[in-house]
């Protein structure tokens, strides 16, 4: 059985030899290079822009600004474009770094040099630089498109329940500007031929990008091909088309050559998404026995000046713990910030930091162990959908995690555990992520040489999906994974689900699974109908498949290979489609993935630097397709959130709002030495109600709850509760709070 085996990644060889081709590695004859000029101010307008020196510089083919750009087609809203204005739309400046000009030249060096020669005369206006400065503007958001979550909601009577509760806590939590910071900067290579456009671009959803690109350029979508097969990390900031992709496409049309545009690292930080600062006010009421009576959760996040973009930090509030009443209010406040983008893990990441921290604070108020407090508030059904959860092994995750971690050694109060100069602390949190899914299509082809091929538009962003989907196809067809090829990342292929929001396993996985089963079924029927087949006349349910061979399950030696069957019948191949239908789920249940985190921190008493020395994560994600890639992804998600908990922050200048140091030298993502021992395991029980494969998403849930688990461990170690991330040493120098 291929599913569940710890196979090496199918693209491992390409990745370790440097043969793997990412977007910026694509080369076309006659290709030229583009570079962008960003605004030095956060608010105002371009009074004048002088491109004469840039245009005169050696090798320069074109300089585009708002004054001479080609006309855009369609509208950002109609095309559901990420921003409300297309690049170089007009002279107005709404955030620092906003692209004001693009230079196209014969070489990379010529383009970069000429971009430096573009002179901008700014009319600068005062900026709203920080969330605190924006707070007076806090308002109920207007959704640009359909609402994604409730922004004002009360279940029960939370105010009355709070007032009546035995114990109340009221706290404010904050998360800063976070950057996705994938290793691969955004890149596009655009090429026109005969009125058709091919765009190689760093994308988490090629079929989603195509209508946006086609619409903005005024080209029929079937004349646009988008290619993105290997993506060098994304974490959400390649979920949508960004301006440079459109600019590369118009530039390629204008200069009549393929144009490559790779943004700089600084531009990745400033113009390709981030998670905005979020302030969360949480009021929690509970009775002495620990039963939660009410949570009232009020959030305000920074939003760009041009449109409202609420963050869903309220996501865990009403859906993780059993509550008698819930109140949520989501607001946004306008700042001169670049456009944010969905970031791992949207809503639940910051939301569970607040809720998971508040539960911990409550546990000390009540004198109840944090794990026990969560057990007492275990939630069996989705409170809004009013349906029982499917596949909720959260209690087992608590048990297994506590056992693996050694939770019973935890001292009941803070500042009770020392090891030499280190304070030692234990913390924990729950993890939960609703299991989203979407339509997905795939094709599986079984060929007369005994091989097979999977075709779907998904891209490998690092999750291991080419490998796990190959295993799914192997499971369905009975052909060994090393005999299965994969074509992906291209709009000429059937549309997969996007590679964000933990959708690949459930949605695209189901499509591949169904396609593989159908291809095998067609082959089986061919054998049954074929008088020369050893399987002739057998009932269909008696035919199994393994090792590239169909066989009689009651007499396994009786059978034949796909190769023999197809060749004898003169069939080159069998090609079948699979479609993941949203109606395919068992409607009686609600679906999510679950987990528990346990963290040990050590804090040097003098330096007050927090080290996560041990972390245990246990997850319930249904069936695990490949334990090797799954464990890797889970460890990665934990470290991703660890960065946000302890070190990551894009610092904004308090006057202009500009990011002070948009560089990896100052935006500290975790390095190898920051990472201690991370123990990942799974409570594995297939969830067939969710998907026919029984497997659910993984990439998001593993990162949910880590911030709280670490912050709770820090409090336990040293008695200081940090409610504004990241937990840097300066916040730990005071005495206990």
Partner 1 sequence: MSDGTKRRTVLAGGLSVGVGLAAAPARAEASTPKTDLLTLVVNGRRVRVDVDVRASLLDTLRDRLHLTGTKKGCDQGACGACTVLLDGRRVLSCLTLAVMHEGSEVTTVEGLADGDRLHPVQRAFADHDGFQCGFCTSGQIVSAVGLLAEHPDLTDAEIPELMSGNLCRCAAYGNIRAAIAAAARLSREGE
Name the residues annotated as catalytic. 700
Choosing from 450, 462, 501, 506, the residue that interacts with partner 1 (CB under 8 A) is 462
Q: From the CB of 662, what's the least distance to partner 1, in Å?
A: 11
Instruction: Give the range of 315-323, 360-368, 481-489, 662-670 binding partner 1 by CB under 8 A.
Output: 662-670
Indicate the DSSP class of residue 75. -
Contact with partner 1 (CB under 8 A): which of 70, 150, 211, 233? 233
Q: Which stretch binds partner 1 (CB under 8 A): 245-253, 499-507, 509-517, 674-682?
A: 674-682
Which of 460, 490, 687, 700: binder of partner 1 (CB under 8 A)? 460
Is residue 619 close enough to count as binding partner 1 by CB under 8 A?
A: no
Scanning residues 115 to 134, which ones bind partner 1 (CB under 8 A)? 116-117
Binding segment toward partner 1, per CB under 8 A, in 291-299, 445-453, 568-576, 668-676: 668-676
- From the CB of 631, what's the least distance to partner 1, in Å? 8
Sheet containing 92-93: order of strands: 92-93, 44-50, 119-124
Report DSSP state, residue 432: E
> Per the omega criterion (within 30 degrees of 0), is the bond before 578 cis?
no
Q: Is residue 628 involved in binding partner 1 (CB under 8 A)?
A: yes
The Cα–Cα gap between 558 and 480 comes to 19
Tell me the H-state helices in 11-89. Answer: 12-17, 52-56
CB of 675 to partner 1, least distance (A): 4
Decide if residue 168 touches partner 1 (CB under 8 A): no
Residue 405 C-alpha from the chain's centroid: 28
**Could you tell me the smallest distance in angstroms from the CB atom of residue 661 to partner 1?**
11
Q: Can residue 532 be called a binding residue for partner 1 (CB under 8 A)?
A: no
* From 464, 489, 506, 548, residue interacting with partner 1 (rule: CB under 8 A): 464
Cβ distance to partner 1 smaller for residue 262 or 650: 262
β-strand 677-682 against 610-620: which pairing, if any? parallel
Contact yes or no for 190/258 (Cβ under 8 A): yes
Q: How far is the CB of 671 from partner 1 (least distance, A)?
A: 4
CA distance 370 to 376: 10
Does 364 participate in binding partner 1 (rule CB under 8 A)? Answer: no
Which is it for the CA torsion 726, 728, 734, 737, positive or negative? positive
Strands (E), 605-695: 610-620, 677-682
| Site stretch for partner 1 (CB under 8 A), options 164-172, 226-234, 424-432, 544-552 | 226-234
Pick one of 212, 248, 440, 669: the residue that binds partner 1 (CB under 8 A). 669
Distance of closest approach, residue 525 Cβ to partner 1, in angstroms: 39
Beta bridge partners of 152: 329
Which part of the chain contacts partner 1 (CB under 8 A), choosing from 43-51, 163-171, 455-463, 593-601?
Answer: 455-463
CB atoms within 10 A of CB 707: 30
Q: Under the criterion CB under 8 A, does residue 349 sit at the interface with partner 1?
A: no
238: left (phi over 0), alpha (psi -120 to 50) or beta: alpha
CB of 617 to partner 1, least distance (A): 12
Interface with partner 1, residue 682, by CB under 8 A: no
Bond before 726 cis per omega within 30 degrees: yes
Phi, psi of 442 (to 5 degrees): -150, 160
Q: How many CB atoms lie within 10 A of CB 547?
A: 12
> By C-alpha distance, which of 516, 352, 533 is closest to 433?
352
Query: Tokens standing for 71?
Result: 């006309």
Contact at 8 Å (CB) between 287 and 293? yes
CA-to-CA distance for 737 and 726, rounded, in angstroms?
Answer: 17
Question: Of 102-110, 290-298, 533-541, 718-726, which part binds partner 1 (CB under 8 A)?
Answer: 102-110
Q: Give whichever of 231 and 373 is closer to partner 1, judged by the CB atom.
A: 231
Q: Contacting partner 1 (CB under 8 A), which of 149, 422, 664, 688?
A: 664
Let me know if 228 is exposed, middle or buried by CB neighbors in 10 A (0-12, 13-18, 19+).
buried
Q: Count residues contacting partner 1 (CB under 8 A)? A: 70
Instruction: For residue 447, give every residue at least 6 positions away whose Cβ sits within 8 Å of its Cβ, in sequence order, or none.
Output: 453, 562, 566, 572, 573
Of residues 9 and 96, the one with the C-beta less far from partner 1: 9
**Interface segment toward partner 1; rule CB under 8 A; list 133-141, 232-240, 396-404, 444-452:** 232-240
Q: Which is nearer to partner 1, 60 or 199 (CB)?
A: 60
Residue entry with tokens 């040489």 = 449
| DSSP letter string, 125-170 | -----SHHHHGGG-BPPPPSSS-SS-SEEEES-HHHHHHHSSEEEE
110 is a contact residue toward partner 1 (CB under 8 A) = yes
By beta-carbon proximity to partner 1, the closer residue of 606 and 665 is 665
Q: Which is nearer to partner 1, 17 or 71 (CB)?
A: 17
Q: Does 239 bind partner 1 (CB under 8 A)?
A: no
DSSP, res 178: B
Using rule CB under 8 A, residue 193 touches partner 1: no
Contacting range for partner 1; rule: CB under 8 A; set: 106-114, 282-290, 373-381, 591-599: 106-114
Query: In whole angstroms, what separates CA 320 from the centre of its chain?
Result: 20
Q: Does 737 bind partner 1 (CB under 8 A)?
A: no
Shortest Å, Cβ 664 to partner 1: 4
Pick the binder of partner 1 from 499, 633, 656, 709 (CB under 8 A): 633
User: According to CB under 8 A, which one of 200, 640, 659, 682 is a site residue for partner 1?
Assistant: 640
Question: In terms of CB distance, is 450 or 670 closer to partner 1?
Answer: 670
Cβ-in-10-Å burial (0-12, 13-18, 19+) of 412 comes to exposed
Rounded to the nearest whole angstrom, what is the least distance from the CB of residue 455 to partner 1 in the complex?
22
Q: Are 232 and 183 in contact, with CB atoms under 8 Å apart?
A: yes
Residue 97 is a binding residue for partner 1 (CB under 8 A)? no
The Cβ-side half-sphere exposure at 453, using a 13 Å CA radius, reads 14
- Interface region with partner 1, contact rule CB under 8 A, candidates 287-295, 565-573, 589-597, 657-665: 657-665
Cα–Cα distance, 522 to 515 (Å, whole number): 11
CB of 107 or CB of 140, closer to partner 1: 107
CA 599 → CA 71, 320, 357, 602, distances in Å? Answer: 54, 20, 13, 10
Among 45, 66, 73, 108, binds partner 1 (CB under 8 A): 108
**Beta-ladder partners of 330:** 299
Q: Which residue in 228, 463, 504, 507 binds partner 1 (CB under 8 A)? A: 463
Q: Which of residues 252-271 bind partner 1 (CB under 8 A)?
A: 262, 264-265
Dist. CA 16–CA 735, nearest whole Å:
49
Question: How much helix, strand and coil, in percent to the nearest 5, is found in the chain?
Answer: 30, 30, 45
Verify binding: residue 343, partner 1, rule CB under 8 A.
no
Cβ proximity to partner 1, 310 vs 670, nearer residue: 670
Min CB(563)–partner 1 separation in Å:
26
Distance of alpha carbon 24 from alpha carbon 373, whole angstroms: 50
Contacts for 625 with CB less than 8 Å, ≥ 6 apart: 3, 4, 468, 471, 472, 505, 509, 693, 695
Kindly identify the residues of this chain, within the stretch 7-66, that bind partner 1 according to CB under 8 A. Answer: 8-9, 11-22, 24-25, 27, 53, 56-59
Q: Which residue has the tokens 């079948």?
A: 576
Interface residues with partner 1 (CB under 8 A) are 8-9, 11-22, 24-25, 27, 53, 56-59, 107-110, 113-114, 116-117, 181-185, 230-235, 262, 264-265, 460-464, 628-629, 632-633, 635-640, 663-665, 669-675, 678
């Amino acid at each position: 059985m291929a599913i569940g085996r710890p196979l090496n990644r199918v693209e491992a060889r390409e990745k370790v030899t440097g043969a793997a081709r990412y977007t910026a590695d694509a080369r076309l004859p006659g290709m030229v290079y583009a570079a962008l000029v960003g605004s030095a101010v956060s608010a105002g307008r371009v009074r004048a822009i002088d491109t004469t020196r840039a245009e005169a510089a050696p090798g320069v083919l074109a300089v585009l600004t708002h004054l001479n750009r080609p006309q855009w087609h369609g509208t950002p809203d109609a095309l559901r474009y990420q921003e409300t204005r297309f690049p170089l739309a007009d002279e107005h400046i709404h955030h620092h770094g906003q692209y004001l000009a693009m230079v196209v030249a014969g070489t990379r060096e010529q383009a970069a040099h000429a971009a430096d020669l573009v002179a901008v005369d700014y009319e600068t206006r005062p900026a709203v630089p920080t969330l605190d400065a924006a707070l007076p503007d806090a308002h109920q958001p207007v959704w640009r498109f359909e609402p994604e979550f409730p922004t004002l909601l009360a279940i029960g009577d939370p105010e009355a329940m709070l007032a009546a509760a035995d114990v109340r806590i009221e706290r404010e939590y904050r998360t800063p500007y976070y950057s996705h910071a994938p290793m691969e900067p955004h890149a596009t290579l655009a090429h026109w031929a005969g009125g058709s456009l091919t765009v190689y671009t760093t994308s988490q959803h090629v079929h989603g990008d195509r209508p946006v690109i086609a619409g903005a350029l005024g080209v029929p979508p079937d004349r646009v091909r988008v290619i993105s097969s290997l993506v060098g990390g994304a974490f959400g900031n390649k979920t949508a088309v960004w301006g440079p992709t459109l600019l590369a496409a118009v530039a390629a049309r204008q200069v009549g050559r393929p144009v490559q545009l790779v943004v700089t690292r600084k531009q990745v930080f400033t113009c390709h998404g981030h998670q905005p600062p979020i302030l969360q006010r949480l009021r929690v009421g509970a009775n002495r026995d620990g039963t939660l009576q009410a949570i009232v959760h009020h959030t305000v996040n920074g939003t760009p000046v041009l449109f409202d973009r609420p963050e869903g930090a309220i996501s865990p509030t009403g859906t993780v713990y059993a509550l008698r009443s819930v109140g949520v209010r989501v607001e946004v406040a306008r700042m001169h910030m670049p456009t944010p983008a969905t970031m791992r893990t949207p809503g639940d990441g910051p939301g569970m930091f607040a809720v998971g921290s508040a539960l911990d604070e409550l546990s000390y108020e009540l004198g109840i162990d944090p794990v026990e407090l969560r057990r007492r508030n275990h939630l069996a059904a989705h409170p809004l959908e009013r349906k029982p959860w499917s596949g909720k092994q959260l209690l087992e995750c608590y048990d297994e995690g506590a056992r693996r971690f050694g939770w019973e050694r935890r001292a009941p109060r803070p500042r009770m555990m020392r090891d030499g100069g280190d304070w030692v602390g234990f913390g924990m949190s729950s993890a939960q992520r609703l299991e989203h899914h979407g339509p997905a299509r795939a094709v599986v082809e079984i060929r007369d040489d005994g091989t097979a091929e999977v075709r779907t538009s998904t891209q490998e962003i690092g999750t291991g999906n080419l490998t796990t989907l190959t295993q799914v196809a192997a499971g369905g067809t009975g052909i060994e994974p090393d005999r299965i090829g994969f074509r992906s990342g291209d709009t000429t292929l059937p549309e997969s689900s996007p590679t964000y929001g933990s959708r690949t396993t459930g949605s695209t996985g189901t499509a591949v699974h169904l396609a593989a089963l159908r291809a095998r079924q067609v082959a089986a029927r061919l054998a049954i109908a074929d008088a020369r087949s050893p399987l002739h006349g057998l009932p269909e349910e008696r035919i199994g498949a393994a090792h590239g061979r169909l066989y009689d399950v009651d007499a396994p030696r009786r059978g034949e290979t796909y190769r023999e069957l197809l060749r004898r019948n003169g069939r080159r191949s069998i090609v079948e489609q699979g479609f993941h239908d949203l109606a395919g789920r068992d409607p009686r249940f609600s679906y999510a993935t679950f987990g528990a985190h346990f963290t040990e921190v050590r804090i040097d008493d003098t330096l007050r630097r927090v080290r996560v020395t041990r972390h245990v994560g246990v997850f319930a994600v249904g069936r695990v397709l490949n334990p090797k890639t799954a464990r890797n992804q889970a460890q990665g998600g934990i470290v991703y959130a660890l960065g946000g908990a302890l070190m990551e922050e894009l610092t904004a200048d308090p006057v202009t709002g500009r990011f002070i140091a948009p560089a990896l030298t100052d935006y500290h993502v975790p390095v190898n030495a920051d990472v201690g021992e991370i123990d990942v395991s799974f409570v594995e029980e297939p969830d067939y109600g969710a998907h026919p494969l029984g497997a659910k998403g993984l990439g998001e849930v593993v990162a949910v709850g880590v911030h709280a688990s670490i912050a709770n461990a820090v409090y336990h170690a040293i008695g200081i509760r940090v409610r504004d991330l990241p937990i840097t040493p300066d916040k730990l120098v005071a005495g206990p709070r």
